[in-house]
Structure 1
Amino acid sequence: MTMIDAALTYAERGLYIFPCDEQGKEPHTTGGTNPKTGKPYRFQWGKHASNDPAKIKQWWAQWPNANIGLPCKPNGLIVIDPDSPKKPDDLDGLAQWIGLSVELNLPETVTQRTPHGGMHVIYKIPDGVVIGNRDLAPGVNVRGVKGDGGYIVVTPSRLNGSGAYQWEPGRGPDEIEIVPLPEVLVNRLVTPKRLDAAQSKQQASYTLADDITRADENLKRLARARADDYQTWIEVGLSLSSLGEAGKALWVDWARQSAKFDESVCLEKWESFKSNGAGERVTLASLTYWADQDDPSGKRIKSNGSGHSEVYHDLPDDNAPTCPPPDAPPDDYAPAETRKPLIEQFKPVSLALIPREITPYLIADVKPARALTITYGKPGTHKTNLEIDGALAVASGKPFLVTQPPDLAAGRAVIQCPVLWVDVDSGEDVLLERFAAFGRAYGVDLRALPFHFVTFPEPPINAANNLRELEAAITHYAAQLVIVDNLLRVAGVPDENSPLMDRAMAAFRGAVSRTGATITLIHHPRKAGIVKEDNGGDDLRGHSSILAAVDLAMRVRRDDDVITVDCTKARRNRPESFAAQYQFTHQPDGVTLDESRFFSSPLPSELRQTEAETKCRAAILAALETRPTSKNALYTIVRGARKLFDATIADLVMSKTITMTEGPRKSNVFTLA
């Protein structure tokens, strides 16, 4: 079968396809060159894919040997893509998938073998199901859910030097149907919040009267202070706008408890809700969430004997301090009656024997998943810009810190996932200008990215009290990366050197644990500046609990447009230092940023020396963990520059990290202290 015959067969089945490079995977060039990158324009599968026979004949008449690309999202498909190991140490995703399919008794569906020995298992996405950005297991990837959905190259396409794609015997599209993604896999791929929402949508059959009753009850659970705050007053009205005249009556009645109440203003504002459609963004679910915040146990509702409910007037003092006193009990998230006793919370140490997923990195070697990290540097070191660059890389799935133009092939791989940005530093105008400039440099459409931000939220985030609302936002947007700029302004403490900072940092650690997201805090060094090259984070400003709480601390320094980033604390693997050059252009006004992005840059010589010292030190200590060793024998293990080795040995002896004794034939023998 020729490629054009195969392409037309896919179109006859109603599948959208597009041409890829002959003997390759990349979308085919379309002609012309991008003037900014110098690279040829290529097909965009989400936009150009077609099942029109005339268009397909035109494409393959122009490129007769083009491979066939099958985009996932336009076809409503999701593809399980287990990796076959390419090196002895690689994860065997194929074995994982085969074991999983047997364990779960999965139905057969259309499946193809790849030229490299991998597999594409093709399912339909069930109606009403929104798959989260996650993989099934280590090495078992999922295509069709991240960003633009991705695509696969399909039979009978060939890869240069590797062979052809082939349908599994008995599992070709001519032999069996593509089946919907089994429920057992849906449950593994959909985040709990999305799964609950999907099930609720299918099962619930509430009437308008039910919604009105529930809204009335939730209004009575709200703290009175909400009626006095203008923005909250607006949002409560918006949440009720879907209830029509009944919602208006409820809102006006609720607003009466404020000393600022003016019925005419309420009615005028209500009309604006209907005209601007803003109620679509704030719903009755928002009202329920606020009610649960203010009254978790529902105790503010009681019957007044007339069949209606009224409000208990034992609400918190509106003038209470925003920061808890040092001896205040912890603000636990779960009501006491639902928490397990401490004796039931202990776990057996044998859990450590169960194989666990290797911690992935959202940005290779820079940003671990499920971690609390801190990025700090003096004002003007571009630390915020660097985090914007990394956030856009993660949200778009494009590599971070590529080499300088025109060679943009290299860079640090990322895991594409939704991103949240919390700003209490730059302000919306500056932030939007930077987002737009970095977005243009990345060549991405910001409208298509799973990236949301908030500037100076109201009420302010107060980590020392709790991070409930931030955690709710992380869950709502399924975010896996959250940037907070900056720490002090969300900590909720009067002094960052206060022991109360420990309460704020504990809240961030808890948020990471409960949501599974990586949270990066932007912070500053001490005013005295950087004391020495490797100070273990001693130059981080504020209470010692800040550094103690984080999994990773990265320090940013700047020399003109080149920044250097080094790690001052790491709970796991210590990232190597790296450098980046900040490049930017302005729009014709000479002021507004047009494009901006960081590119990989060589490390300064003094920092390379520091890296070499760190590695040499670690190698010496690792070698001495097994037994005392003579100097010459130790050098044969460590290797490297002899001068550096001798200097490092001397430094370790002087610091009493290792001890030196006389061995046979007056040799020097070293032992860990």
Structure 2
Amino acid sequence: MNARTETLSEKGQAALAYAGRGWKVCPLRDGTKSDHLTGHGGYHNATSDPDQVRKWWMQWPDANIGLNLEASGLVVLDADTYKPDCGWQNYIEGREAPWTLIQKSARGGTHYIYQAEQGVEYLGKLCQGVDIKHKGYILLEPSTFEGGQYRFETDDEPEPCPDWVPRKAGAPEGAKQTVTEDDRLLILHRLADAPNDLSREDWVRLCFALKHALGDDGREAWLDFCNRFPGEKKQGEAERVWDTAKPDGTSNAGTIFYLLQTPAQKAVAPKTFNLVAVGDLEYRPPVFLAEGLIETETLGLLFGDPGCGKSFLAADLSLSVATGEPFHGRAVKQGTVIYIAGEGHNGLARRFNAWAQHHGRSLKGVPMFKSERAAQFLDGASAQSVTNAVRSLAAKVGEPALIVVDTLARNFGGGDENSTQEMGQFIAAMDDLRSNWPECVLLIVHHSGHAEKQRARGAMALKGALDFEYRLEKEGDALTLTNTKMKDAEPPVDQVFALETVDLERGGSSAVLVEGEAVVRRVRLTATQMLGLTTYKTAALAHGVWDDGAFKGVQLEDWRAEFYRKHTGDTSEAKKKAFQRVRKDLVDYGKMTATDDVYLACDPAVSLEILMSGTDGTIPGHVPS
């Protein structure tokens, strides 16, 4: 990073990085989606010229970042996954959604960012609650809107836009079929089995969607559907509605699948709640899924930065359990494994095969099963469908010993990870899933916090619900697994791995975890932790506690006041939480000690800097102890 870049704000540096990828960006007023700061022309003024980008964000350091999609060669599926009527999950059922760059919007929606096909125009609507954005723009991380922030869920390059995203280019005018043959057959199957409990408004919506999806060939299917039921929805009225329907692209296959949900999909039966007398509870010695690392009957979390190797470790553990292979020298309890993958399906297949090749094993007959798509655990119907699928499989191959949810973000559903209420709903869904199989371990794979790398991202309610938690951190070639919570056992010592490349027999390559060498690790402080240390020094100069010329520390209240003054939190509560975390982290890292609310830096260099800061021979800010 050069000196010119360092003077830019966080948003300015992000905008410059996007421009470096060839993306066309433009500034919008902080907290808005439409107030363009460049005046006439709006997002059409977007550029990838670094000098112009630098000039804009030097002038408006807090400006949001707009991305001109068409000019950048991108198309986005903008799914309102936080809305209950969003048709995204129904639409992609049975389709392969490529692993691509994904961003969460400020409201909790999801942006699936793909490479646009040259010379192609896209329809404006995919299905209910999902827009196709190409001629227009979106905001990019770390832009803000309505109190929320845009943030990337993955750090991948955009993949080519899937074939099942409808195009305008070359499409003939008129009522022709706009869906694939597989979708046509699935629609006809759903129509044949669907009950007619639709309101008149939804009945008309279904007609519009069918005409758009199937064209004139759908007329007979529509009339057959309506003729099965009495009343106004019989032949004459059905014919009139069909003949006057004018498809406009706002309803299609996804709308059909949403409207034709079965009663079981619409309403999930609640679980029973039982009570057990304490005298009937049986105690037994701990049983480990992985010796010394993970007990059975637990809920746990593995977190770390993107690209640190989390999924490699989760795959390694899963295959060890499924095959009975020791996990890096630790015995495992062999059993069925369910891997609920939200991303990287092709990459996971390569990792599984690399593991098998490295260990000299065949994957044929191994009781490990991967989902074809992500779950949406905040949605009751989606969560129940996962449970039903695992129950069905367990009846054939045995109860699961391990269920992996990779990652939390991709399987969360339409909600906000930072919301205590919605995180609580996700935890309840995890508990409900695991409770079906008493011996099972449920492991969640998650990202570390944006600013606080030492903890997992999102609401703290998650950590409180866990039985165990591990952080995976990459430094150079070393991947260090550190236990950060062990509810009912002694925390294990750190375990160090490295990634070793494996050339696959059928082409391509992947990697596997091998034992690594421990490195001398320096604690890398976050920006907020650095602010805590800086404000500590400032408070020490003004209000330090001294005893006969020796520096004894800083009173908590003096340090807090200086931190609040410098911290950029929008509310006093935000400043309070940030200071509490920083204070705890610096003590945990061995940077500070605390005695009777007096904090003393453990680094002699810090104390010396404070001692030497006086230029007139007096002790700065001398407060007798």
TM-score range, shorter chain: 0.3 to 0.5
What TM-score, normalized to structure 1?
0.39
What TM-score, normalized to structure 2?
0.41
Indicate the structure (1 or 2) with the bigger Cα radius of gyration.
1
